[in-house]
Amino acid sequence: MAEGLRLEPRTIEEIVAICDTMLETLREAAQQAKKLTAAPSFGGFKSAEDLRAGFIRKARGTPESLYERLEQFAAVLEGMRDAFSAGGEGFLAAENHRTAELRALDQDEL
């Protein structure tokens, strides 16, 4: 996070929840993409089989295919969620530390 940026605990929770919802959606889409490899044949001709193979490659099996892209997006989003979550703990720890310091100062003045 950028220096000086402060997120409220509720904001962190909301961001993490949004990331979790997006992750669930991406994972469901990836599971559906797996099923696309069961494409039926377009006939007995070689060109029809080549067309089928092309559709299967677009669904899964190469770094550019739908399934792999969805998995890549999910991995990035998971990292973002973890960063916010860890950052949230860091924010809360820092806030608790500052609060304790302020309370200690108040006690010294009494």
- pLDDT tens-digit readout, 45-78: 999 999 988 889 999 988 889 999 999 999 999 9
What CATH number is given for 9-109 in this structure? 1.10.287
pTM higher than 0.75, yes or no?
no
Whole-number CA gyration radius for the chain: 24
Nearest C-alpha neighbor of 70 from the set 55, 79, 80, 60: 60
- pLDDT tens-digit readout, 8-46: 889 889 999 999 999 999 999 999 999 988 878 778 899
